[in-house]
Structure 1
Amino acid sequence: MSSVDAEPLHVILVGAGIGGLTAALALQHHGVRVTVLERTSQLTESGAGIQIAANGVHVMRALGLEGDIAEAGVAPGSYDIRDLRTGRQLWYIPFEDVAAQRYGAPMYNLHRSDLIDLLKRGLRQGSVRTEAKVVAVGQDESSAWAELATGERITADALIGADGIHSVVRTQLRGDEPRQFSNILMWRGLIPADRVAHLDLPENGNYWFGPGRTLITYWVRPGELYSVLASVPVDEVSRESWEDTGDLAGLLDSFKDAEPRARGMLEAIETGFITGMFYRDPIDGWTSGRISLLGDAAHPMVPFLAQGACQSMEDAWALAHCLADPMHDSVPAALQDYEARRRPRTTRVQVGARAMVKLVHESDPERVAVRDGRFQGLMRIDPIAERTWAFVMDYDITKAVREPAGDVVGLSGTREGVTMNRPESQRAHDLWRTAFTQEDIARGHDGLREGYERFLTTNFPTPAEATSRSIELGRVDAIEILGAQSAVEGPHLLHFHGGGYVVGSAESSLEYAARLASATNGRCVVVDYRLAPEHPYPAALDDALHAYRMLRESGVPASQIILSGESSGAGLAVAAALALKGAGEQLPAGIIAICPFADLTLSSPSVAKFDGRDPATNRDSLTNMAAMYVQTHEPTDPLVSPLYGDLSGLPPIFIAATDGEVLYDDARRLAEQASGVGVEVTSHFIEDSVHVFPLFAFLPETTETIDRIAQWARLLGDRAAR
């Protein structure tokens, strides 16, 4: 932005925490002059340990600090997560060499004060001013300034608020905004090595999860110092203020039933302090002209993805790159580019961290059991946690800043710059992309269910001309729907909705079901099968089979039944047919499989290839849904993942999917494997559309596909009539 002869850019950084100091180093590295204003008298960091994942290590490596961090801290070998009361292992995640190979860098744990010392050591003398309390900020067309409590005004080309969750700069930009309290308190403490020498505390992340509480513990100085973060419900601590305290009676009382190793560790703490867990919701903008925000000032998050510091580090490198990039003709343009590269990603991480807090602090015994079952499923489907943690760790900002800003992945798991070729498909893409709100995702599967129901019922209401009624197929609830026709002359479609076995319902599937019934001149019965994680495999399959058998007992011959489903419902339809074949029962006339989720190991190439392009689903969400469904079962069981089954002898299958969706290869593989063993397969693969496109009645390809299904169903009916 400046010529060779011009003065280098000058940036004021308000706040000398981890984010502010990393930004100062990154700006200095890019040839930008910095002034760091810190309100306290010295650069120290209270607290205990800090975890720097691979995405943060990339920045430290670029700044030449990885070797120092490796020497000062510990590279954990794994996350070892256990039940607080019994000590039983719930989830095991390897790191060390596995993480370094997968993500290009290891993870490190170290003391916060050690990291602060390493960061400030690299700054030029005079860059940091202590006892410099900023009370106001401002700007004009050519500069930005900070006004100190002393009345002094400091001027520069840009000003960045890195002053944490209580940011003065943010308040100046956006006014007073509420902080959110998670209703969780956090005890922190450090233990000298000799006090825990009798305990088995390896150089791992040694974690314990109990009802409403957790212990996050690890070494921060090898063989010297051990860090403990203990979270408890807010109503378990009563005091006038949450300050440094040596009174640990409340902590020990909250963990009175902890298993012996965890209890022994807590009893070794001599002093500690307690704070509330606060956060702010993601915001729609944090830049104004020459002033912007960074780290917790922009996106304060709860600590349960261990990403607060790492996201600040990513911010720091992106900020420095954008301000030094000669492609920008002004400071405001550079700061807007910085925000465009960072805000979608940090929003996703903020919301993901809240979802993790909810998950690990479940208190109801049934929900705890469900959560633990999900962990077991993740170990089967994602044994090195590649898909679970990749969205935060598999990211190198030092490379990403050289790519288009539209490549950043936002809240929906989709790259921000992805577009479709046609206005109709773009409309469908945008509907999927905005289907779930921040709050939906933060609330875990409960929020996703509400969001999915809202998405379907709002955008796809049941047609007024359709008639529906609730029915019982034995112990399984269902909804029968007819289209505009008054009599059933075509097939009886037994339909299973999609939603990854976790979300969706018969009620919200009626619009699509009505169109199927109308097109085939038949009847559609939509099954309300039980959902995971409360009801893992084989609950959905049992309900599907029971519904089929009850439909037959009601007088409908198998030759007039077609199993139908979209996404997971399509996989369920094929699995049900396999189960019926295995039981020697009469099979239905056919199967309609729209964009099937048929391999819950997620080994189809398109899952990775199109991750970030498909707005309806992504590798992360599929992994979690699959884990919730399989839990302690094997995902390669053909009745879970029908692509691992013997498809020979199945009835004719109609398969449809679109390129660019992550489940494309599930559909392609299903078609190839079925036809390869003699099954009559009718395939319909289209371009430039979205996952389960037949839900979107306004798409031309939907009309074509429904017409093809109707023709295919008539052909099956004609055969049965002969």
Structure 2
Amino acid sequence: MSRQQRQALDALLRSGPRLDTQPAPAELRTSFAAAVTRPAPEGVTTRRTVLGGRPALSLEPAGAADRGRLLYLHGGGYVAGSPDTHSGLAGELAARAGLRATSVDYRLAPEHPFPAAVDDGLAAYRDLLATGADPREIVVAGDSAGGGLSIATLLAAREAGLPQPAAVVVFSPWVDLTLSGESMRTKEDADPIVTAAGMRAFADLYIGSGNRNHPLASPVFADLAGLPPILVQVGANEVLLDDAVRLAARAGAAQVEATLEIGPGLPHVYQTEHGRLDEADAALDRAARFLVSHLGALADAGQVPGH
């Protein structure tokens, strides 16, 4: 992999502002969209739809398998982001996996604080099941806050008595709203994007004076027994490193098949740099193979991606 690419990316990210205050949500959403939005990749058809009563974006790669569905939950600190800002990332994962995907426009804080996002994630998953999708052919993925929301959605589904999907992938998941991970301090200088103060600002908007230890707000404190196989990808240069490490460790301790990948020299949700960073493309390829390898019907048919 290219050290030069990693260094160039780090310098580029450091040239922009870091989130260390609490901007107005409208301003934050605008700047976030400008910074992260990438279009869906060529060959992926998008259309507006509704899932679980919420607006959503359908992403269908050319030649997608007839079976198998990907539910994607975007990042943005529970305050910003949308299926549009993440159509590039979700579309890339869908294309590499050869799966139809739906990215949900869950409600954002502070207008809709915790547990609105979890309720919307659960409603979306419930809707997939209600419309006939086999849970063994559903996979879930998300990044940053959307990674935490992916785990919270599966916990909520478990508590509701719903079957689990086949697998889940999370990129740089935010799973501890108490910010108790050691890397919140030790990686502050190494992280070119995220700060502990910025994460505290997001948590304040999302949960306010509520219980930040709640397992659906901070899944790292949850009992993860019964969840499906999980792949956690995180960069070594991010304050959320310990969120990812502890999530994988707790999953493994709960007898959940857990795979943790730590990318040296890489920043928060580095997968968004697909096409510009070798490590991002390789990580998305591995994530796609992981998801499809756990879809029984597709794996049995030999349709595991080869890239």
TM-score with structure 1 setting the length: 0.40
Q: 2:135 aligns with which of 528, 548, 558?
A: 558
Are 1:718 and 2:299 matched, yes or no? Answer: no
Are 1:461 and 2:39 matched, yes or no? Answer: yes
For residue 493 of structure 1, report the CA deviation from its aligned partner.
1.1
- Structure 1 residue identity aligned to 2:131: S
Q: Which runs of 5+ in 2 are unaligned?
A: 301-307
Q: 2:182 aligns with which of 581, 592, 605?
A: 605
For residue 720 of structure 1, report the CA deviation from its aligned partner.
7.6
Are 1:500 and 2:97 matched, yes or no? Answer: no
For residue 435 of structure 1, report the CA deviation from its aligned partner.
4.8
Which deviations, in whole Å up to 9, do the C-alpha atoms of 1:56-78 show, x marking residues without a partner? xxxxxxxxxxxxxxxxxxxxxxx
Q: 1:709 aligns with which of 277, 287, 291?
A: 287
Are 1:571 and 2:148 matched, yes or no? Answer: yes
Which deviations, in whole Å up to 9, do the C-alpha atoms of 1:536-558 show, x marking residues without a partner? 10110011011111122222111
Are 1:685 and 2:265 matched, yes or no? Answer: no
Name the SS for the 1:502 alignment partner: coil
For residue 712 of structure 1, report the CA deviation from its aligned partner.
1.3
Change (3 A) 1:647 1:474: closer
Contact 2:94 2:288 in 1 (8 A): no
Q: 1:587 aligns with which of 145, 164, 180?
A: 164
The aligned length equals: 298
Structure with the largest fraction of strand:
1
Change (3 A) 1:623 1:613: same
Contact 1:643 1:669 in 2 (8 A): yes
Structure 2 match to 1:525: 102
- Structure 1 residue identity aligned to 2:181: S
State the alpha-carbon separation in 2 of the partners of residues 655 and 573 from structure 1: 12
State the alpha-carbon separation in 2 of the partners of residues 662 and 474 from structure 1: 33
Which deviations, in whole Å up to 9, do the C-alpha atoms of 1:514-549 show, x marking residues without a partner? 111111000121111111111110110011011111
Are 1:426 and 2:3 matched, yes or no? Answer: no
State the alpha-carbon separation in 2 of the partners of residues 482 and 616 from structure 1: 31
Structure 2 match to 1:156: none
State the alpha-carbon separation in 2 of the partners of residues 573 and 636 from structure 1: 17
State the alpha-carbon separation in 2 of the partners of residues 445 and 422 from structure 1: 36
State the alpha-carbon separation in 2 of the partners of residues 520 and 627 from structure 1: 36
Are 1:452 and 2:32 matched, yes or no? Answer: yes
Change (3 A) 1:497 1:442: closer
Identity of aligned residues (%): 36
Q: 1:482 aligns with which of 60, 63, 67?
A: 60
- Structure 2 residue identity aligned to 1:423: Q
Q: Where do 1:258-277 residues align within 5 Å?
A: none
For residue 442 of structure 1, report the CA deviation from its aligned partner.
8.3
For residue 430 of structure 1, report the CA deviation from its aligned partner.
3.7
Are 1:515 and 2:92 matched, yes or no? Answer: yes
Are 1:700 and 2:278 matched, yes or no? Answer: yes
State the alpha-carbon separation in 1 of the partners of residues 278 and 292 from structure 2: 22
State the alpha-carbon separation in 2 of the partners of residues 528 and 452 from structure 1: 15
Give the structure with higher Rg (CA). Answer: 1
Which deviations, in whole Å up to 9, do the C-alpha atoms of 1:439-497 show, x marking residues without a partner? x978532211101101123xx233343210010114211101123x2333463111111
For residue 505 of structure 1, report the CA deviation from its aligned partner.
0.9
Q: Where do 1:296-695 residues align within 5 Å?
A: 422-436=3-17, 443-457=23-37, 460-483=38-61, 485-489=62-66, 491-695=68-272
Structure 1's consecutive aligned runs of 4 or more residues displaced over 4 angstroms after TM superposition are 434-438, 440-443, 719-722
Name the SS for the 1:454 alignment partner: helix
State the alpha-carbon separation in 1 of the partners of residues 297 and 114 from structure 2: 35
State the alpha-carbon separation in 1 of the partners of residues 94 and 299 from structure 2: 19
Higher relative contact order (CA 8 A, sep 6+): 2
- Structure 2 residue identity aligned to 1:478: A
State the alpha-carbon separation in 2 of the partners of residues 441 and 673 from structure 1: 31
- Structure 1 residue identity aligned to 2:287: I
State the alpha-carbon separation in 2 of the partners of residues 572 and 644 from structure 1: 14
For residue 647 of structure 1, report the CA deviation from its aligned partner.
0.6
- Structure 2 residue identity aligned to 1:669: R
Contact 1:441 1:447 in 2 (8 A): no
Change (3 A) 1:653 1:719: farther
Structure 1 match to 2:305: none
Change (3 A) 1:713 1:661: same
Contact 1:435 1:455 in 2 (8 A): no
For residue 707 of structure 1, report the CA deviation from its aligned partner.
1.6
Which deviations, in whole Å up to 9, do the C-alpha atoms of 1:226-283 show, x marking residues without a partner? xxxxxxxxxxxxxxxxxxxxxxxxxxxxxxxxxxxxxxxxxxxxxxxxxxxxxxxxxx
Contact 1:601 1:635 in 2 (8 A): yes
- Structure 1 residue identity aligned to 2:54: V
- Structure 2 residue identity aligned to 1:466: V
Contact 1:436 1:448 in 2 (8 A): no
Name the SS for the 2:200 alignment partner: helix
Contact 2:59 2:102 in 1 (8 A): yes
Change (3 A) 1:448 1:432: farther
Change (3 A) 1:556 1:430: farther
Contact 2:18 2:193 in 1 (8 A): no
Q: Where do 1:166-245 residues align within 5 Å?
A: none
State the alpha-carbon separation in 2 of the partners of residues 430 and 456 from structure 1: 16
Name the SS for the 2:294 alignment partner: helix
What's the C-alpha RMSD, in Å, of the aligned pairs?
2.1
State the alpha-carbon separation in 2 of the partners of residues 674 and 442 from structure 1: 32
- Structure 2 residue identity aligned to 1:591: V
